[in-house]
Amino acid sequence: MDRSRIFMTLAALLPLLLFVFPLWTITLEAPQYPTPLGMNIYINDFADKNPHDIKNINLMNHYVGMKYIPEAIPEFKIFPVTIIITTVLGLLLAWKAGYKWFLYWGILMVLLSAAGIYDFYLWEHDYGHDLDPKAILKFTNPDGSAMGFQPPLFGSKDILNFKAHSYPHFGALSFGLGILLAFVAYAIGRNMQKNKIK
Amino acid sequence: MKKIIYSSAVMLCSLILFLSCGDRDSENKGALASSAAEKVYVAPGEYDEFYAFISGGFSGQLSVYGIPSGRLFKVIPVFSQDAEKAWGYNEETKPMLQTSHGFVPWDDSHHPDISQTNGELDGRYVFINGNNTPRIAKIDLSVFETTEIIEIPNCAGNHSSAFVTENTEYVVAGTRFSVPIPQADISIKDYKGNFKGSLSFISVDPEDGGMDLSFQILMPGFDYDLAHPGRGASHGWMFFSTYNSEEASTLLEVNASQNDKDFIAAVNWKKAEEYIKEGKFTTMPANYAHNVYDEHTHTATSTMKKEVRVLDGSLPGLVYLLPTPKSPHGCDVDPTGEYIVGNGKLSADLTVHSFKKMISAIENEQFDGEAYGIPILKFEEVLAGTVKQAGLGPLHTEFDGKGNGYTTFFISSEVVKWKVGSWEVLDRQPCYYSVGHLMIPGGNSRKPFGKYVVAMNKITKDRYLPTGPEVTQSAQLYDITGEKMELLLDFPTIGEPHYAAGIPAELITERSRKIFNLTENKHKYAATTDADVKVVRDGKEVHVYMTMIRSHFNPDNIEGIKVGDKVYFHVTNLEQDYDVPHGISMIGANTSELLIMPGQTETFVWEPKQVGVWPFYCTDFCSALHQEMQGYVRVSPETSNLELSWGLGD
């Protein structure tokens, strides 16, 4: 088997690590929480970083009228199936298809992750802005509009007394590395093709 | 009489001598004063190096301090009701204070001792004695709460307690007062020969720490004062100091001070185990309470036990008496287990016995008579040495693990450092004033952490700002890492501290619990979700299954309660976050508040006597909406037909 196919095989397998490691991680720091509150987002679950963190995030957030973090969302069903399909597809391509297909697979994965991030943003926006009108504490922006509490998509942000951090975890990194390897596999394949022609 | 005058004169002269010594020392202190402050300074947010568990004395409790800062962290309720924590007030902990005399809401707690494994502190439990109504309590150091109390039958004034053996096989109790055993209606004048002492061995389950009164040894009618376990070679022995070998029953200050020597009783408890196995015990009827708090039901149960196995102290090889001068008080064993120190409290000397010599004296039958069938060993044959003229009124000794002993002297008010083996005095530092016990972390184990001595004083006088006739109790911290001891700090303590036990913090912090898991809550009346919330009437009894979480009670409106009802509020804290307890209190309730930890259920009883609408509220400032955490109960006349109803947020 040539090197480009080995790389493509690895590229197809790496996203499977999403079943082991979290996709994303959100951490909330505040003086009263010497051990910060945290939530790990898996492709099929919201999980506590430390025991009872999500319960305690919900307790905090109910003061400003935010909804409870749901036990399950439709994405928890869609994401795993998508990952399995794309992995199977990637393996088939690595086995049989021409190197150009590696590029197409990589582009497909980029599009899928863009869709996923956009979906995550929509959920976050709703979570941070769709507030209970009977909220205990109501904050407004300087312009008089209602203050939202959307956590950052990527990076760190001050939200009232909390500092919120939102960063990809090993799952997302493996996924990204998979995409990168697909492009590498394509490049190697193309070079080998060129050399053959020469 | 002449003798008394003479000895008083000697005491007075020595006192003056020692006081002038003290003055000299305090002059030298100036240069060190600044470093003393640094040595006890624990910066904000930093931790102390040691925990100190300091007995609460007549408060009946156990206090927890940080060393070297001397900061008070917690008062653990043990033998006395504590309204702050609802100890002995809520339905769950009332059984903990049950005894054969009924509910006893107070005791006098003296000697904490930390559990050991292989002769070293293991940080699992602290045991402490109740002196007045004889009991031993166990505090679980994962939660810093009292989880077991066992009453000691055939005992009065459980003073020589609660000391543990090298692997926490046993925790011991001893009777300070000898009494008729079994109790009987006889003349006090018939004390001699009719009153007896008892030494109790309470086994501790190695797995769950459960206590069980394994056996008692019946002893002559002396006063059994203090105890310490053998270790190393002397493991298997327990040493008890005695006084009043005169067997006086009145004016003991004179009548119990007549014999030149009393005894240290060396008890071979391994031998006792053999006798028990061989069936050489008698089973005596008894009546004593065994109270156990269950961490999962969050509820205590009290069981009355009805018999005890008793061994006679005169059984061959079980007990030997070591003559020890001048009514010994403290009975302390050095880290190697070889030396047993008798602190003759009416003396200026310390008597040190040798375990090796004791064994050879026993083998060679070097006896000097007997007391009620118990052999008395020849004084000279067991004596290792004497720390001579070390001070006046020695009480207690601890060890630093570097070959030095530290003894408190009550009358001359000082701590004296001396060398084990050569018995020479190395240093002395004054105490303010009249020191009783002292403590070196691990000082009663094979492995002391010889960095600090905490001296606990009996008299405070002018050491702090005055607070009327009753002033605070006082402890003092000394650095003992150098050749000379250095006084670092005075700090106030609760009650009147007797003994204390210290331990490196890291042996405890790792196991310290933050919350109780709701999923493990097995309380009979727990409401672990809002779906479990209900109010149930059973005749005149009403049970409220209530929850609490930031920042509301569920239910917070209750109607249908009537005058003459007995209302049980079973309240579960649904929080699962560190340090978010909630409290609850009801207007006019004839009991204390509840202070409920996350995941825990507690119960208080309210018997409404007046018609009306009565509020209850959260007593622990829990959140920004704490002041909103409240509710109402409507109380109707006894004849009312109003059905029970309840709700939240309608």
Domains contained in chain B, CATH given? 1-74+388-513 (2.130.10.10), 518-647 (2.60.40.420)
Instruction: Report chain B's terminal Cα–Cα distance, integer Å.
Output: 86
Residue B9 pLDDT class (50, 70, 90 cuts)? low
Count of other CB atoms within 10 angstroms of residue B251: 9
Rounded Cα gap, residues A58 and A39, in angstroms: 11
Task: Tell me the two tokens of residue B476.
Answer: 């003092």
Query: Residue A59's closest chain B neighbor by CA?
Result: B550
Least confident range of A58-67, B85-94, B368-377, B579-588: A58-67
On whether any CB of chain A is under 8 Å from the CB of B550, the answer is yes
Task: Tell me the two tokens of residue B611.
Answer: 């018609």
Percent above pLDDT 70 for chain A: 99
pLDDT tens digits, one per residue of B118-129:
999 999 999 999
Task: Tell me the two tokens of residue B13.
Answer: 């002269």
Q: Give the pLDDT confidence score for residue B67 in this predicted structure.
A: 98
> DSSP code of B520?
G
Q: Give the pLDDT confidence score for residue B19 in this predicted structure.
A: 45
Residue B1 has pLDDT above 50, yes or no: no
Please judge whether A136 and B625 are an interchain contact, meaning their C-beta atoms are less than 8 angstroms apart.
yes
- The Cα-based distances of B501 to B7, B53, B124, B173, B445 in angstroms read 35, 5, 13, 17, 11
Query: Residue A62's closest chain B neighbor by CA?
Result: B550
Q: Give the pLDDT confidence score for residue B446 in this predicted structure.
A: 97
The interface predicted TM-score of the complex, written ipTM, equals 0.87
- The Cα-based distances of A141 to A135, A144, A146, A147, B222 in angstroms read 16, 5, 6, 5, 81
Residue A196 pLDDT class (50, 70, 90 cuts)? confident
Least confident range of A193-197, B173-177, B351-355: A193-197
Q: Give the pLDDT confidence score for residue B650 in this predicted structure.
A: 78
On whether any CB of chain A is under 8 Å from the CB of B513, the answer is no
Residue B588 contacts residue B605 (beta carbons within 8 Å) = no
Q: Give the pLDDT confidence score for residue B519 in this predicted structure.
A: 97
* Extended beta strands in B250-318, E state: 261-268, 282-294, 299-312
Residue B608 contacts residue B104 (beta carbons within 8 Å) = no
Please judge whether B624 and A137 are an interchain contact, meaning their C-beta atoms are less than 8 angstroms apart.
yes
Rounded Cα gap, residues A168 and A179, in angstroms: 15
Please judge whether A59 and B577 are an interchain contact, meaning their C-beta atoms are less than 8 angstroms apart.
yes
On whether any CB of chain A is under 8 Å from the CB of B549, the answer is yes
Mean pLDDT of B42-71: 98
Which residues on chain A are in Cβ contact (under 8 Å) with B576? 51-52, 55-56
Residue B61 contacts residue B82 (beta carbons within 8 Å) = yes
Q: In sequence order, what are the residues at sequence separation of 6 or more whose Cβ sits closer than 8 angstroms to the Cβ of residue B563?
A: B608, B609, B610, B611, B635, B636, B637, B638
Identify which of A55, A63, A137 has the shortest CB distance to residue B576: A55
Residue B30 has pLDDT above 80, yes or no: no
**Residue in B354, B345, B568 with CA at minimum distance from that of residue B458:** B345
Mean pLDDT of B158-177: 97
pLDDT tens digits, one per residue of B172-220:
999 999 999 999 999 999 999 999 999 999 999 999 999 999 999 999 9
B63 forms beta bridges with: B54, B75
Identify which of B577, B624, B625 has the shortest CB distance to residue A56: B577
Please judge whether A52 and B577 are an interchain contact, meaning their C-beta atoms are less than 8 angstroms apart.
yes
Which residues on chain A are in Cβ contact (under 8 Å) with B577? 52, 55-56, 59
Q: Give the pLDDT confidence score for residue B18 in this predicted structure.
A: 46
**Residue in B494, B561, B579, B590 with CA at minimum distance from that of residue B55:** B494
Torsion angles phi and psi, residue B14, rounded to 5: -65, -40
Residue B81 contacts residue B96 (beta carbons within 8 Å) = no
Strand-pair category, B261-268 with B237-243: antiparallel
Mean pLDDT of A126-146: 90
Which residues on chain B are in Cβ contact (under 8 Å) with A136? 625
Residue B569 contacts residue B553 (beta carbons within 8 Å) = no
Please judge whether A59 and B550 are an interchain contact, meaning their C-beta atoms are less than 8 angstroms apart.
yes
Task: Tell me the two tokens of residue B247.
Answer: 């067997």
Helix pair A170-197, A3-13: axis angle to 10 deg: 160
pLDDT tens digits, one per residue of B538-578:
999 999 999 999 999 999 999 999 999 999 999 999 999 99
Give me the residue label for tokens 């059994």. B224
Rounded Cα gap, residues B311 and B309, in angstroms: 7
Task: Tell me the two tokens of residue B553.
Answer: 């009670």
Query: Residue A34's closest chain B neighbor by CA?
Result: B578
Residue B20 has pLDDT above 80, yes or no: no
CA dihedral over B405, B329, B121, B506, signed as positive or negative:
negative
Residue B26 pLDDT class (50, 70, 90 cuts)? very low
Residue B579 region by backbone torsions, left for phi larger than 0, else alpha for psi between -120 and 50, else beta: left
Q: Give the pLDDT confidence score for residue B5 in this predicted structure.
A: 53
Q: In sequence order, what are the residues at sequence separation of 6 or more whose Cβ sits closer than 8 angstroms to the Cβ of residue B487?
A: B29, B36, B429, B476, B477, B478
- The Cα-based distances of B505 to B36, B112, B421 in angstroms read 21, 17, 32
**Residue in A24, A25, A29 with CA at minimum distance from that of residue A158:** A29
Which residues on chain A are in Cβ contact (under 8 Å) with B515? 52
Q: How many helices (H) and strands (E) does chain B have?
A: 8, 45
Task: Tell me the two tokens of residue B598.
Answer: 């996350």
The C-alpha angle with vertex B346 and arms to B218 and B423, in degrees rounded to 5, equals 95
In three-state secondary structure terms, B424 is coil
**How close, in Å, is residue A86 to chain B by CA atoms?**
40
Residues 123-182 of B with CB under 8 A from A: none
Mean pLDDT of B38-67: 97
Helix (H) or strand (E) holding A114: helix A99-129
Query: Residue B624's closest chain A neighbor by CA?
Result: A63
Torsion angles phi and psi, residue B209, rounded to 5: 75, 5
Residue B33 pLDDT class (50, 70, 90 cuts)? low
**How close, in Å, is residue A163 to chain B by CA atoms?**
19
A30 forms beta bridges with: A33
Rounded Cα gap, residues A45 and A73, in angstroms: 8
In three-state secondary structure terms, B572 is strand
Mean pLDDT of A174-194: 93
pLDDT tens digits, one per residue of B354-413:
999 999 999 999 999 999 999 999 999 999 999 999 999 999 999 999 999 999 999 999
Which residues on chain B are in Cβ contact (under 8 Å) with A55? 576-577
Residue B91 has pLDDT above 70, yes or no: yes
The C-alpha angle with vertex B268 and arms to B264 and B270, in degrees rounded to 5, equals 160
Task: Tell me the two tokens of residue B105.
Answer: 């809401």
What's CA B493's distance to the chain center, in Å?
14
Percent above pLDDT 90 for chain B: 93
Identify which of B550, B576, B625 has the shortest CB distance to residue A52: B576
**Residue in B28, B39, B18, B33 with CA at minimum distance from that of residue B481:** B39
Summary mean pLDDT of chain B: 94
Which residues on chain B are in Cβ contact (under 8 Å) with A63? 624-625
Least confident range of B29-43, B328-342, B462-476: B29-43
Count of other CB atoms within 10 angstroms of residue B377: 24
Helix (H) or strand (E) holding A125: helix A99-129
Residue B19 region by backbone torsions, left for phi larger than 0, else alpha for psi between -120 and 50, else beta: alpha
Which residues on chain A are in Cβ contact (under 8 Å) with B578? 35
Q: Residue A28 carries which side chain, given as an amino acid letter?
A: L
Instruction: Report chain A's terminal Cα–Cα distance, integer Å.
Output: 21
**Residue in B39, B47, B50, B48 with CA at minimum distance from that of residue B442:** B50
Strand-pair category, B552-554 with B557-562: unpaired
pLDDT tens digits, one per residue of A106-122:
999 999 999 999 999 99
Q: Give the pLDDT confidence score for residue B11 in this predicted structure.
A: 52
Q: Residue A123 carries which side chain, given as an amino acid letter?
A: W
On whether any CB of chain A is under 8 Å from the CB of B622, the answer is no
Task: Tell me the two tokens of residue B479.
Answer: 């650095």
Q: In sequence order, what are the residues at sequence separation of 6 or more whose Cβ sits closer than 8 angstroms to the Cβ of residue B353?
A: B264, B322, B324, B339, B340, B341, B342, B382, B383, B384
**How close, in Å, is residue A72 to chain B by CA atoms?**
20
Rounded Cα gap, residues B112 and A86, in angstroms: 66
Q: Residue A40 carries which side chain, given as an amino acid letter?
A: N
Rounded Cα gap, residues B513 and B521, in angstroms: 15
Please judge whether A63 and B625 are an interchain contact, meaning their C-beta atoms are less than 8 angstroms apart.
yes
Residue B36 has pLDDT above 50, yes or no: yes
Residue A81 has pLDDT above 60, yes or no: yes
Mean pLDDT of B430-443: 96
Residue B606 contacts residue B631 (beta carbons within 8 Å) = no
Task: Tell me the two tokens of residue B509.
Answer: 């912090």
Cα-trace Rg, chain B: 27
Rounded Cα gap, residues B108 and B79, in angstroms: 8
Rounded Cα gap, residues B265 and B237, in angstroms: 10
Which residues on chain B are in Cβ contact (under 8 Å) with A137? 624
Rounded Cα gap, residues B285 and A9, in angstroms: 80
**How close, in Å, is residue A68 to chain B by CA atoms?**
15
Helix pair A75-96, A3-13: axis angle to 10 deg: 170
Query: Residue A51's closest chain B neighbor by CA?
Result: B576
Tell me the residue length of chain A. 198
Identify which of B575, B577, B624 has the shortest CB distance to residue A63: B624
Q: In sequence order, what are the residues at sequence separation of 6 or more whose Cβ sits closer than 8 angstroms to the Cβ of residue B227?
A: B160, B161, B163, B172, B174, B238, B239, B240, B241, B331
What's CA A71's distance to the chain center, in Å?
17
Query: Residue B577's closest chain A neighbor by CA?
Result: A56
Summary mean pLDDT of chain A: 93
